Amino acid sequence: MTGKAGKLHEWIVKCDKRVLLILDDVWEEVDFEAIGLPLRGDRKGYKIVLTSRKDDLCTKIGSQKNFLIDTLSKGEAWDLFRDMAGNSIDRILLDTASEIADECGGLPIAIVTLAKALKGKSKNIWNDVLLRLKNSSIKGILGMKNVYSRLELSFDLLESDEAKSCFLLCCLFPEDYNVPVEDLVNYGMGLGLFEDVQNIHQARDRVYTLIDELKGSSLLLEGDTNFYESVKMHDMVRDVAISIARGKHAYIVSCDSEMRNWPSDTDRYKGCTVISLLRKTIEEHPVDLECPKLQLLLLICDNDSQPLPNNFFGGMKELKVLHLGIPLLPQPLDVLKKLRTLHLHGLESGEISSIGALINLEILRIGTVHFRELPIEIGGLRNLRVLNLRGMSSLSEYSNLRWFSIVKDSENELNIEGDSNDVLASGISALLRNTQVLRLKD
């Protein structure tokens, strides 16, 4: 061992004092001997503390103990923010400062960076920073370049494009949202994101593998719902994800429950590949929406007073994934020749037999709806791999289906879920009662 590494090794071994070495923000495996650090047992009273955003890295290099550093509580975050900002927070700025601290999501580096950057600044600047944080535009905020760069580096160092795509799909949902793993599976299958995956079961396994990688890189968190498997995004990580998705992949993400319209920048629609629009109410939908490159549309509105116009999908012929949470389904759907995944919930009434025209549909998921008949046309979806009727607990009146095909191999599943096993049994029986053609294929 020569050079600086040799000198460091010699000094550590001969030093008669306790030695603590800190390796901060490590991203790759470390060859301790190559950089002059004694191996375990060569020197007593000698410790190495290593910090990393990748928890599997610590295991790979043989760490003795791993400690998870959690985010700060709301009270701790506010105390840190106030200490860093000093006397800048007067009575006028108190509410704004508190909201900014909350937007940091307990992330110390973001809290310290913002508090120091805003110290001594005018109320206008404080207000502008808060607005940017709420709009997930942290890249342009004073002093936040370093925070953004660190989080972006975590994304850039992901080993596969599949992991990056899965990560970006998670930013389509609101802050603090429990993102259903099954949605990621269905979206990924529809978009064809998974290499060498032949069926829904393999896709599900792949998504769990990707989630494990993303959690290991501190980009995803465990969901906190008991009703379904889910993941969450830290608010600041989500902001970075949205910024990356907007800039590099032409996503439009707008999850503001207070807004009542579509984003007004119509030029962006022509080049966008993904649109996520979540609202409480939408007062008016665009009539001639041209999105020639759009592949995924997520549109959910809790209290939609205005139905989507007919031929709404006319300018979306490349659409592969459609997730709608609205009362009425627009007609027609036959222009969506490339659609592979369709998720409908919240439908109150109306004609849905047009889904029979979706000749390439592979995944159909119908959630909580307020009608009691399935259209006959579902039986003709020859490429259907997954039929998920979650939320349709009363199937006793779904007796109008005349043709149904269940392909019994590893590539297909019939997923019918209800409130109890009795409901499921009677529902499946009713579903098939009047079926004249039933194909069971091994």
In sequence order, what are the residues at sequence separation of 6 or more whose Cβ sits closer than 8 angstroms to the Cβ of residue 359?
337, 381, 382, 383
DSSP H or E segment with residue 247: helix 235-249
pLDDT at site 226: 79
pLDDT at site 177: 92
13 pLDDT band (50/70/90 cuts)? confident
Mean pLDDT of the region 229-257: 90
Mean pLDDT of the region 405-424: 45
Residues 245 and 387 in one domain: yes
Q: In what order do the strands lie in the sheet with 341-345?
A: 251-254, 274-279, 296-301, 321-325, 341-345, 363-366, 386-388, 413-415
Residue 409 has pLDDT above 70, yes or no: no
Return d(Cα 33, Cα 403) in angstroms, integer.
69
pTM: 0.75
pLDDT at site 402: 46
Residue 40 has pLDDT above 90, yes or no: no
Asked whether residue 356 is assigned to any structural domain, the reply reads: yes
In sequence order, what are the residues at sequence separation of 6 or more whose Cβ sits closer than 8 angstroms to the Cβ of residue 333?
313, 339, 354, 355, 357, 358
pLDDT at site 71: 83
Residues 279 and 151 in one domain: no
DSSP notation for 270-335: HH-SEEEEEES--SB--SS---TT--EEEEEETT--SPPPTTGGGG-TT--EEEEESSS--S--TT
Q: Residue 171 is part of which domain span?
A: 161-230
Rg (alpha carbons) of the chain, rounded to whole number: 26
Residues 179 and 55 in one domain: no
Nearest partner of 328 among 300, 343, 348, 357, judged by Cα: 348
Residues 214 and 241 in one domain: no
Nearest partner of 292 among 273, 306, 267, judged by Cα: 273
> Out of 190-194, 322-326, 365-369, which region has the weakest mean confidence (pLDDT)?
365-369
The residues facing 363 across adjacent strands are 341, 386
Please give the mean pLDDT across all residues of the chain: 81
Asked whether residue 66 is assigned to any structural domain, the reply reads: no
Residues 245 and 369 in one domain: yes
Residues of the chain with pLDDT > 90, as a percent, come to 29
In the block, tokens 């490590």 appear at 26
pLDDT tens for each residue of 364-392: 888 766 666 667 777 778 888 888 776 55
Strands 386-388 and 363-366: parallel
pLDDT at site 79: 92
* 3-class secondary structure, 27: coil
Residue 317 has pLDDT above 50, yes or no: yes
Mean pLDDT of the region 85-91: 82
Q: Which two tokens stand for residue 385?
A: 């791999």
Residues 269 and 290 in one domain: yes
Q: Per the structure, how many domains does the chain have?
A: 4
Residues 16 and 48 in one domain: yes
Residues 426 and 407 in one domain: yes
Q: Which two tokens stand for residue 143?
A: 């002093």
* 3-class secondary structure, 213: helix
Omega prior to 292 cis, within 30 of 0: no
pLDDT at site 349: 66
Asked whether residue 442 is assigned to any structural domain, the reply reads: no
pLDDT at site 399: 43
